[in-house]
């Protein structure tokens, strides 16, 4: 938490938060993008589905699932997006470039699994 001037505030103790208020994953966690193909427009490109990744950053604040918003549900529990890193070799096994080359992308919590 921070006020308008960016000064951090000490959180109060013993507050029970809503579901999704605390990030499920942390920086450094090994994750896997879910392999599923629901009907409709989803902002998880198919080329990353089923791929293993590492959480590089938790995006704050938590946000409404934009896929729900796309269907007119603009309220409800918020969850986090995560900036994840996926090696190019994981995406494309024949990738000819250096091993360190990689992709970064933000994925909503409901699309990530522990790996």
Rounded to whole angstroms, the Cα distance separating 33 from 90 reads 12
Task: Tokens for 86, please give them.
Answer: 């996926």
91 is an interface residue for other proteins by CB under 8 A: yes
Which range of residues in 20-28, 30-38, 71-79, 103-111 is near other proteins by CB under 8 A?
103-111
CA distance linking residue 15 with residue 78, whole number of Å: 17
Judged by CB under 8 A, the residue of 8, 11, 40, 97 near other proteins is 97
Binding residues (CB under 8 A) for other proteins: these are 6, 43-45, 47-48, 59, 63, 66, 81, 83, 88, 91-92, 95-98, 100-108
């Amino acid at each position: 938490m921070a006020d308008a001037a960016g000064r951090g505030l000490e959180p109060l103790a013993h507050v029970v938060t809503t579901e999704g208020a605390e990030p499920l994953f942390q920086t450094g966690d090994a994750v896997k993008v879910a392999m599923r193909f629901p009907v409709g427009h989803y902002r998880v490109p198919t080329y990353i589905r089923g791929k293993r990744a590492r959480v590089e950053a938790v995006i704050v604040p938590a946000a409404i699932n934009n896929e729900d918003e796309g269907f007119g549900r603009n309220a409800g529990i918020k969850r986090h997006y995560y900036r994840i890193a996926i090696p190019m070799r994981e995406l494309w096994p024949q990738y000819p470039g250096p091993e360190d080359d990689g992709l970064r992308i933000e994925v909503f919590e409901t699309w990530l699994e522990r790996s």
